[in-house]
Amino acid sequence: MIEKAKAFAAKAHEGQKRKNSSEDYVVHPIRVAALLEHAGFREEVISAGYLHDVVEDTSYTLKNIEREFGLDVKDLVAAHTEDKSKSWKERKQHTIDTVREGSFELKALIIADKLDNLRSLQKDIETYGIEVWNNFNAGADAQKWYNQSIVEGMTNGLESEEVPSYFDEYKQLVEQTFD
């Protein structure tokens, strides 16, 4: 299932590039899935890592995901897919609420995604400086609110021994980037 999800993501994101970069977009879901795999998550969660942006950023639908990978993977992808008809703030508030109230596996998927995004952002800031913020739908202050709110909710309902180490890295990067 994992290799199938990787191939599906590569096909779905073919020709897409990362923001501020010439890097192929599929590199992002590959890194997200690798974080999840390294943390020991089951294959459905790792597969969702590969597929987390497919519905949001390509012509594929949740029905396609369910048909190819099952209801469990589809539900994880669906819970992490933003509704682009809503405003930036509404979409981000939904993600914040999902992180605070979601299952452990859903939290893990979202934090892996946010961590990889923040790692890329840090590299972009080092390369391009504060001009990077001009490429976002919301500026540095809004991004600070969003990422700090994710940190505040990400361990809600979890025992400390359950929390993957990459959650700590995300928290540290949020502090470094926005404080």
Q: Is 131 annotated in the active site?
A: no
Tell me phi and psi for residue 163, to 5 degrees: -70, 120
Distant-in-sequence, close-in-space partners of 120: CB < 8 Å, separation ≥ 6: 18, 20, 21, 28
Are 18 and 28 contacting, i.e. CB atoms less than 8 angstroms apart? yes
Distant-in-sequence, close-in-space partners of 103: CB < 8 Å, separation ≥ 6: none
Active-site entry in 24, 57, 66, 169: 57
Active-site entry in 37, 43, 56, 66: 56
Are 33 and 64 contacting, i.e. CB atoms less than 8 angstroms apart? no
Q: Is 56 annotated in the active site?
A: yes
One-character DSSP codes across 153-171: HTTTT--GGGS-HHHHHHH
Q: Which residues does the annotation mark as catalytic?
A: 56-57
